Chain A
């Protein structure tokens, strides 16, 4: 995969920028927090000010500190869940697609069953039976989320593996007698990379949504600060109804921005996988000088009469007429 082939459209760059920003926040967020997010030392229900950028909760906690500290828990759980789910989907999807036959039937059935069961209700049921120790353990929550989120990736990877399996280079490796495992890891895996990246982005996106939702309905420990528990407390204290927008809007917008960044990055991968999606646009200057339309229209091939072509053409006509 050469660097030149990686699309660099503005959409993708913005996506990378947003995600990069939040990744940095994950690392430095807790240090940036001016106060302990749980400490109730301040006056309750303060509106935003210089000392409390986002005001305080009805318990007198600093909201900005919660947002900063909460970034880490949210992103880490999403990442853990996303990685574990992707690992599961690679194992199931690639094996099913490569082995074919009976193992494929079984593994496909497994992923289809997991796809058909609605994820959130299942998560809620599992979570509601978890003892409190489990609920406050981010790792356990991440694992459970990954359990409901791997099936989509497995399906996509299976399809891609099946199409790769029949291509020449894999055939060639098989003929020279490489072992199945070597072929899977050496030949198929690298060609799955773009599909894999896309599936990872979407699994992380799903995991953030699932984690935040669980926290919002009070199924994770409310003592662990993440953007979902912030929304939970804001809701529980009627922040939306009392117009305390600075309490519930920032975490929601952060969640949406991370997701948006991931989705924008995925445009790049889409264009990489499907060249038809790559824009073949004209620069503004060229469009003006050549008189070409901004957007190609099917069935209306543009005609560009640049002076050079005209003159050389007429010379030839004269010669042809001799």
Chain B
């Protein structure tokens, strides 16, 4: 329990740091970019919206501390400002974009973790067999940028071979709603982005798990499982059950990396999530939107980290009785 509380407080501190960095950045940059931006706003958004933007940056009056508290206050009220290009509140925009990202990256991460862990288990157990030749190949996928792999897959399997429908999250001819055609379309359009993210991230899990399996197989309790005459499958489980723990411990840290890469996959496949939105916002210098997206991504990643920690807590009984690991 202590371990979970420790992690929880870590994430609280992290959230606070992210929020503060978010506030400080525009103030630290030379030439006061916020002033400049707001100066250029007239005509693009309504005066009320200009005011909301000003507030979301902490108001333009008073010293830095007052502005900071103003910013925190607005954050509590849910005012993340107004997007300059889309002329609507950032929070509203995020509300429609976040589920796509969470769905896409969430599913891909789970798939990739499960697949990588399984392959790593088998590679570790079968070490020395011909399967080992997968290892050098997998490092290529580990190193290739997500967006590049996505582009190649999109081109080859989407646009040339037409194996997968691409560009967007569902077919434009389908109306969103709780219908089978819609769900089916969602799945079909999601396939190639998911495959991209899984291919790019699976090697890390696989190689990590393989190394841990090899380390675990050398432990006495695995030999004991053999000595007990257990079927091979159960012997492997004895080792894997322990080998997976470092992977799960790393899960919370790796989520940040996967999210970083996966955000660009949305751009490649024109997926309507926050990654795509972020890059549009960068091109348009839409600062309120950029900052809102940074905050929401960070918060989501922190929640995912916490979930991964809970999983570790469930899997390792030692954390329950001992001090934090």
Complex contact flag A–B (Cβ < 8 Å):
yes
Tell me the A residues contacting B by CB distance below 8 Å: 11, 14, 109, 112-113, 115-122, 124-126, 128-131, 152, 205, 209, 212-213, 216-219, 231, 235, 240-241, 243, 245, 248-249, 252, 255-260, 262-264, 267, 270, 274, 276-277, 279, 281, 294-296, 298-299
Q: Which residues of B contact A294 (CB under 8 A)?
A: 128-129
Size class of the contact patch on chain B: 35 or more
Any A CB within 8 A of the CB of B260 = yes
Q: With contacts A116-B302, A262-B143 known, is A295 near B25, CB below 8 A?
A: no
Residue B145 at the chain A interface, CB threshold 8 Å: yes
User: Which of A152, A252, A262, A263 has the largest number of chain B CB atoms within 10 A?
Assistant: A263
Instruction: Select B301's contact among A116, A129, A258, beta carbons within 8 Å.
Output: A116
Interface assignment of B114: CB less than 8 Å from any CB of chain A: no
Whether B282 pairs with A112 at a CB distance below 8 angstroms is no
B11 proximity list for chain A (CB < 8 A): 116
B86 contacts partner chain A, Cβ-Cβ < 8 Å: no
Q: In the complex, what distance in Å separates the CA atom of A212 from the CA atom of B30?
A: 25
A-B contact pairs, 10 of them (CB 8 A): A109-B10, A116-B10, A116-B14, A118-B256, A121-B260, A231-B147, A240-B155, A241-B159, A255-B148, A262-B143
Cβ contacts under 8 Å, B79 to chain A: none
The answer, among A152, A245, A255, A277, for a CB contact under 8 Å with B214, is: A277
**How many residue pairs, one in A and one in B, have C-beta atoms under 8 Å apart?**
173
| Cβ proximity bits B240-265 to A, threshold 8 Å, 1 near / 0 not | 00000000000011011101110110
- Is B128 a contact partner of A129 (Cβ separation < 8 A)? no
Shortest C-beta distance, B304 to chain A (Å), equals 10
B211 within 8 A of A: yes
Complex contact B144–A217 (CB within 8 A): no
A-contacting 9-mer, from B49-57, B90-98, B182-190, B283-291: B283-291
CA A131 to CA B222, docked complex, whole Å: 58
Does A122 lie within 8 Å of B226, measured CB to CB?
A: no
Asked if B294 and A295 sit within 8 Å, CB to CB, the answer is: no
Q: From DSSP, what is the main secondary structure of chain B's interface residues?
A: helix
Residues of B116-156 at the interface with A, using a CB-CB cut-off of 8 Å, are 126-129, 135-136, 139-140, 142-145, 147-149, 151-152, 154-155
- Contact A118–B298 (Cβ < 8 Å): yes
B145–A252 CB distance below 8 A: yes
Q: How far is the CA of A274 from the CA of B218 in the complex (A)?
A: 12
Tell which of B15-23, B60-68, B315-323 binds the partner. B15-23
With both chains docked as a complex, state the minimum distance between the C-beta of A33 and any C-beta of chain B, in angstroms. Answer: 22
Known A-B contacts A129-B25, A263-B143, A281-B128; A117 and B256 likewise in contact (beta carbons under 8 Å): yes
**Contact, CB under 8 Å: A231 / B148:** yes
Contact with A along B218-248 (1 / 0, CB 8 A): 1000110011000000010000000000000
